[in-house]
Structure formats: C-alpha cells, structure tokens
Amino acid sequence: MERRSFLKMSAAMGCAATVAGCNSSSSDVDVVPPTPPVTEGETMNWSACMVNCGSNCPVKVFSKDGVITRIESEFTTSDEYGNHDVRACLRGRSLRKRVYAPERLKYPMKRVGPRGSGQFERISWDEALDTVAERLQGIIDRYGNESLFNMTGTGSFAYFKGVFTMPQRLMNSIGGCLDKYGVYSYAQLLEAATYTFGTPYVGLQGSCITQIENSDLAVFIGYNPSEIRMSGSGISYDFLNIKQKNNLRTIIIDPRYTDTAVGKEDQWLPIRPGTDAALFEALAYEWITQDKVDQTFLDKYCVGYDEKTLPEGVGYEESYKSYILDNATVDDLTPGVNAKTPARAASITGIPEHTIIELAREIAVAKAPFIHLGSALNRQAAGENNMRAGYMLSILLGKIGLPGTTNGGQSKGGFFYVPPLSAGTNPVTKQISFFTYLQAVEDGKNMSVLKDGVRGVELDENGDGKLGTDIKAIVNWFSNSMVNQHSDVNKTREILKDESKCEFILMVDNLMTESAKFADIILPDTTWLEDEELVNQNNVAGGTATLIQMSSAIEPLFESRHSYDICTEIAKRMGVEQAFTEGKTKQQWLNEMYVGAQAANPGLPDREVMLEQGIYRKYLPHGSYIALKGFRDDPETNRLYTPSGKLEIYSSRLAHKARTWELREGDVISALPKYTPTWDGFDDGETREKYPLQLTGYHTKGRVHSSYHNIPWLREVVQDAVWMNPIDAQARNLKTGDLVHVFNDRGTLEVEVKVTPRIMIGVTALGQGAWSRFEDGIDKGGNINTITSQRPTPLSKGNPQHTNRVEIRRA
C-alpha cells in the first residue's frame, strides 16, 4: 500500500493519531473512510505482550472462526519522533506461536510420578480445586500460614491478573503467607539505593532517558537498551534519535560489545565482570587529587565525604575521601600505599591506566554527564557495593538533579497510572529474601535476622530472631523462577524432589515449564490474548506513555480459566470467597479499575471507545523527569528518607550491620561503598586456577528471562551460544559453531560456541533464560543458572547470577 494512503487509513481507524491527549500533529493527517484491515470473516482485537521487559507493547490480533490468524504491530501515526509508532519487538510479534505452543497447558492435572518427572494425569476442575483447597488448609492447620510461600514470578505484568496482585490477594484472604523482599532483577540495587537515597525506588527511577537531549556525554555502564528495551516506542529508540540529533558522545563500559554499542558508541571500554567498583574508585581518585569534585555540593547535600559531614563520633579516617586516598589524617593528604589509583584499577578491571585517566578527565569536564548504571552491575556477589560505588560518580561531581544528568538509576519514562487490584494486607509479617526460599524449605526454622536477613520477627536481647518455620507449600503463579530461573538448578531440583520437605506445590501457568514439572497440581490459566484488561506500557518503555485496552481475541482454549475464576473457586472452598471477591464479578473489578484509570488520566476515553481504538498515548505526559531535582532545588523541604535526610555516602545503618551481622568468610558489608573481591570473582585465585574463564549472563532478544524460549522462530533468530574471545578459543582449538561443554563444580552445559572479538579476553557470556534439558547429567538446554551459585550476597541476600568461573572444552 502506498505510504500516505496507509497513514490515512490508520488515522481513520481510530488509532493513536486521532486519540485525544496525543501531543502530535495528527490533526494534519487527512481522515478518510477506512479500508477494512481484515479479510472476509476476520476480526481484529487489541491486546498486548505482558512479559516483564516492562514495555507491555500493544499488538493487533486478527482471528477467524475463533482461531488467531496473525499478529500485527503496524503503523498507526505519521511516525515522526515524539508521535512515533508503538511497535512490538519480535517477541510480541510471535504471540500466536505462544498461544498455540505444543507446551500449552490444556487441562487441570495432578502428578502421578516422582516429583520433577513431568508425569501427570488429567483431572477435572472440581477435583483439582478441591485438592488445592484441602492441601493448603491441611498445611495451615499443621504448620500455620507462615509455612505457605507465594513464589516470586514475573510471567504476567498485568494490573488485574498480575503476579503481584491476584495470587497475593488470595493468600492474604486465607490468612496470609510467608512474605518476601527483593526480586531477581534488582535485589542488590534496591538495597544500595535504600542506603544511599533513602528509598529503593529512587534506584529504579533515574532521570528519563530523554534527558540526554540536555547532556553532552552519555556513559552507559553495563546498560544495554538495544537488547532489553528494544520495542518501537522504547528507550533504545529515544536514545538513538537523540544521539543522531545531537551527535551525543557515548561511552559504553561492558564486557561485551553489545548491540547498544555496535556502530552507535564513540568508545567501548571492555571491563571484567564484577570489577566496576574498582573503576569507580579510580575515577574518584582522579577527581579528588585533581580538585574536580564539587565540594559545595558534597558539603550541602551529602553525609560522609570528608571530616565536615561525617556523623557525630565518626573520625576522618572513616570518610570516603580518606578511603580513596588511603590517608589517616585531615592534614596529611598524601595518597597512601593503598590509594585507589588508576594503576590499581587497571590491574583489576583490565582497562588500561591511561584510559581510566582520560575517562576521568572527560567525565569531569562534561557540563551534564548522563551516567547510567545497568542492573547487570547489581547481579554480582558484591552487587550492593558495585551499585553504591557507581552512584558516587554523579554525587562527587555534583551532577544530580540538573538537566541532562541522572543519579545512576534505571531510566524513568512516560507513564500513565492504572490502579492495580489491591492485594490487601498480609497478616504474616515475617519475611525472607526471595532468593533464600530453598534454604527456608530445608531449614527455615533456624534462619535468623543476623545470619540470613530475616525480617519481621521478634528480636531477642542481641537483636537477633529466628524465622521459626519451614516452607511446606509453594503457590506458584506465572513463574519459572522456582527451578529454571533460580541458581544451581541441580541443587534446586534435588531439594524440591523431597516431598518430606516441601509437601505441596501448586502451579498456575500457560505452559509446561521446567518449574511446572515439579508441581503436584497444575491449573491452566488463560493467555494474554484470551483476556480483557487495561494495561499500561511500563515507564521503562521510554518517553511515550501508552495505555492498551486488551480484549479477548478468542475464547479461552481447552479448559483454561482466568486467574480470577481460579482464585474465587479456591477461596470459596476455603470459606473466604467474600473476602477475596468483595462480592464483585471479574467484569465489575475491571470496570472499577477503568474508572480509576480515567480519574488518574484525564482525557482517557470511555472503555467502549478504547475497545475500538485500542491504545491511548502521549509523549512524556508528565514531562521529562530529572532524578532528585526536588531535593537539589530544596533539600530541606524535600528531605530524602535516609536518617540524615541527605545523600549518604557513609551509612551508619550499614556500619551497624557490619558490626552485628554474621557473614560468611569473604563477604563484606561496609559503611562506605567499596570495591570488594569476591568468591568466584576475578580476584579469586584459587577458583581461577581451576576455572580460568569468567562467565557472565545477559538478556537476549529472543526471550524475556525464560518467557518465549519455547518459540522455535525466536531460537532460530537468536543463537544460544556462549561468546568467547578468539584468543581464548584458539587456546582451546575452538571455532564458531563447535559444540562445547561449559562447566564448573555445579554442573555442565552443552551449547555452541560463538567466537567473536566482541567480548574481552578471559571473559565468556551466555544469554540467560534457556530452559534446562538434562541428558545424562548434562544440561543440553544451555541454562546458565545450572552453573550459578545459590550463595546469597551479603546485604540483600540476593542472587549473584553474573559471578561465575568456568572452563570450556569441546563436547
């Protein structure tokens, strides 16, 4: 179709170009009677891809005779930047394959073989629901509600049928369950942000990526939007448009030469995984010794830089300045033998000393450096310190709260508020880290505050307290984190196989995942394309805020049921139906949430209109957010939620934890952000001798975590292969396409190797999220979690997913 005619057709269809609230020139597009976009007998519904990349992209779903015929993500505007198309990536465009996947769960099932064997038989819904209610109530009666655990999962980012809302509401209705804190993506980041900025969410709400329009230098550290935020309206599109418009100088620091870098960066600095904090300290050394720090900012807004801002009773020798320079007195500022110099950092990071010095100079002279820390930095054995050390870059230069700058946090984008279904209040106050759930299965009763980070328990005179219960039942909704996405898969499988430990596992999902194989009862839920709901394009999608009115393209397939109906039936059998439903039907809840969305977003059309036009959007509806601008403008009125109300370089709370917590050998909690050598890290000489290669994970374009791995189209497009530098490959006589074993003490993977100079020497990388497939003890599915450790990080008790040492040899 000729382009202008197509645009006229799109406008006339009631698409985004004619939606009230778009700050666009859409009125300039001539509206003509639409050419039907469907073939004879076809219908079109709007829906969305709801995986947790955060983009939640809209799609058009065409169906005929109750069968989806095609998925489109087509032009809806003149496609000028600021009024540009909201396109789904290749994952969203493959949704039809996901709905009709061979792995689709069709009927309620109960396990008939050993747990984990994948042997099930079909049962009726009544038998399945009766069994679930009976097993849950029996466990509550024997062990208490604290023995129930609602598994962490992100398989559906909806606001009504979402993993953080509906399943938790059910659990709260039946008396609650053992709670959790942290998530696989951000556990260390959340703690680092809490102790620096006062709240975890500041770490998740850095300046909008569009602020780089006001910047003269972008520094992306472990940040790769072209692969993880690649939707048509997303952060990568914002970045590329502004980069081209302003010729913005961009430096990318990453072990891999990522797709964000390829052809778009001005400089790539490869760095060894887990050593970022050493680089940050060297930059700090240069700025301090070259008098480039913003002393006025540090004095006014910060705690702990030097002797002037330390808490009462803490001497200069405990300050950040003293730590970097390695000097003990205020008067003698001569750097000591352990000063955090570029030469020291070069030996750790692999970045040459002169390059570090030049990097320090370049950032320091920038008027508005946009320094973005990727969350990959936090998924390390010392991830909390990595992140805190990274926050120091903007703090030391006073480049926070100003146009073109950020605080190092995740970029916040355009956002329309949709009120979620209330989960209610959990009557159980006890919490464990999400990552220690298997420890709670094996020996939860002895997990403690000071040793394991347990929260919400009664403390003794020593400030300690125990969890006091084991996990006896797991409720798992839309989550493959129970097995496939948890560390040390072999160990995980063995623990869950033992029915004397965890006595009951309920799985509600669309697909027979690796985690589903360990369920005792499986209940099939509907997919996104079989649901109705108003959802938003999450604020990590970029500057364009989008609401999508999903509607059902087809009837629920097979015997699948919506989560609300499943939860209602379980609640009814457990005598709490009224508490769960409040007397409302599913549609009444959806209508109520829609009214709430209209109140929060003036201009949002009525639901009937949205069912036709599908999307409602606006570019930066609340402006281009600048992180901590309010605090910068008025630090007294807008005090942070830290004890001091300021940015805390030195944290008294962490100093207390460092003195009182029971840490494993080699673990460090520090009042100051510090580079910390770790087990299985670059500095671990003993492990390095046995396993000479570092292995890091990354997100591929073919899936979001483990979602979409089962789609053959996507596995063809994105090769699941371990990246290896040619020098390392030559030493092992390997070439691209060779089948290799990647192994350590925890297990062995069998995958292809990709030999490429796009990864630094001594480092290898493998896309995370592949589904495990064991044959003769070898994971031929290539799941990196098979060979990662279950040892939690010191502070957040989070997952150290990118801290691995391995060897690789021909299979």
**What pLDDT, on a 0 to 100 scale, did the predictor assign at position 37?**
62
**What pLDDT, on a 0 to 100 scale, did the predictor assign at position 288?**
97
Question: Does the structure show a pLDDT above 60 at 521?
Answer: yes
Query: In the beta sheet, which residues pair with residue 698?
Result: 767
**What pLDDT, on a 0 to 100 scale, did the predictor assign at position 11?**
30
Q: Look at residues 197, 206, 148 and name the one whose alpha carbon lies nearest to residue 173.
A: 148
**pLDDT tens-digit profile of 72-102?**
987 677 778 888 888 888 999 999 999 999 9
Question: Does the structure show a pLDDT above 60 at 33?
Answer: no
Question: Does the structure show a pLDDT above 50 at 561?
Answer: yes
Higher pLDDT, 36 or 582: 582
**What pLDDT, on a 0 to 100 scale, did the predictor assign at position 30?**
34
| Cβ contact 49:57 at 8 Å | yes
Question: Does the structure show a pLDDT above 70 at 156?
Answer: yes
Which residues fall within 8 angstroms of residue 758, CB to CB, at 6 or more apart? 256, 257, 258, 723
HEC assignment per residue over 685-719: HHHHHHCCEEEEEECCCCCECCECCCCHHHHHHCC
**What pLDDT, on a 0 to 100 scale, did the predictor assign at position 73?**
84
The 10 Å Cβ neighbour count of residue 462 is 9
**What pLDDT, on a 0 to 100 scale, did the predictor assign at position 295?**
98
**What pLDDT, on a 0 to 100 scale, did the predictor assign at position 55?**
83
What Å distances lie between residue 510 and 43, 109, 155, 311, 347, CA to CA? 24, 13, 10, 53, 49
**pLDDT tens-digit profile of 472-493?**
999 999 999 999 999 999 999 9
**pLDDT tens-digit profile of 573-584?**
999 999 999 999
Provide φ and ψ at 95, rounded to 5°.
-60, -35
Going by DSSP bridges, is the β-strand pair 739-744/369-373 parallel, antiparallel, or unpaired? Answer: unpaired
**pLDDT tens-digit profile of 381-436?**
999 999 999 999 999 999 999 999 999 999 988 889 999 999 999 999 999 999 99
**pLDDT tens-digit profile of 694-739?**
999 999 999 999 999 999 999 998 889 999 999 999 999 999 999 9
Average pLDDT, integer, range 48-67: 90
- What's the pLDDT band for 24 if we cut at 50, 70, 90? very low
Domains in the chain with CATH codes:
1-100+531-559+583-613 (no CATH), 104-177+430-525 (3.40.50.740), 189-414+634-660 (3.40.228.10), 685-810 (2.40.40.20)
Supply the mean pLDDT for the chain.
Answer: 92
**What pLDDT, on a 0 to 100 scale, did the predictor assign at position 22?**
35
**pLDDT tens-digit profile of 625-668?**
999 999 999 999 999 999 999 999 999 999 999 999 999 999 99
**pLDDT tens-digit profile of 535-545?**
988 777 888 89
Q: Determine the 3-state secondary structure of 268 from DSSP.
A: strand
